[in-house]
Amino acid sequence: MKEFITPRYVFSPGSPGVGYVDLVGINNFDIARLVIIINQTDGTLIYSTASETNKYTSVSGTKVYLNVDTSTQSSSDQLQIVYNNETSTVDMIVMLNNLLNIIASPGIRDKTVNADRVTLVGGSTTISSGTVTTVSNLATIANYQGQMQIIHNNINAWANTCRRTIS
């Protein structure tokens, strides 16, 4: 998903190949995710993936050296940056993984309390809120001993395929 972000940046105007924007506010910067940079103060396009002239000449870390002559612009100019934020992709993968986990093991829904019912050795309990953080020494869930590991492996394989396709 394309998102407008306002990262910390350093704009250093200059001649083509010398002027740059240092996107220091973007963790794990990847030039393939940068969509557009607009100088809002001047109303000029200084970088776009859709332009032959408004492209970058090189990248060094988070510094994107521009092909456009920005020597008449000011380092204090306001820039608008559109970047395909990696967090959105990760959030989508996590959401899909959670959905697949629910589909793979839906549990039993207790409509009287609007919660999932979990059967334990010696009885049952209802978890209506909160998070189970630790389960240890669990060998079998309703006779799904081997199936749970297979389902888990399939979900991980599918999530990895999605990550490669989306990236």
**Would you list the domain boundaries of the chain?**
3-84, 87-166
Q: Do 21 and 47 form a contact (C-beta atoms < 8 A)?
A: yes
How many C-beta atoms surround the C-beta of residue 36 within 10 A? 18
pLDDT at residue 166, as a whole number: 77
Q: Do 85 and 3 form a contact (C-beta atoms < 8 A)?
A: yes
pLDDT at residue 71, as a whole number: 94
- 31 secondary structure, DSSP code: G
* C-alpha to C-alpha distance for 145 and 160, rounded to whole angstroms: 24
Q: Do 160 and 90 form a contact (C-beta atoms < 8 A)?
A: no
The structure's pTM equals: 0.51
* C-alpha to C-alpha distance for 139 and 145, rounded to whole angstroms: 6
* C-alpha to C-alpha distance for 76 and 55, rounded to whole angstroms: 21
For residue 43 the two structure tokens come to 């109303």
For residue 92 the two structure tokens come to 């989508």
The series of mean pLDDT values per 10 residues for the chain, 167 residues long, is 70 94 87 90 91 92 94 93 69 68 60 56 49 52 54 72 74
Q: Do 21 and 9 form a contact (C-beta atoms < 8 A)?
A: yes
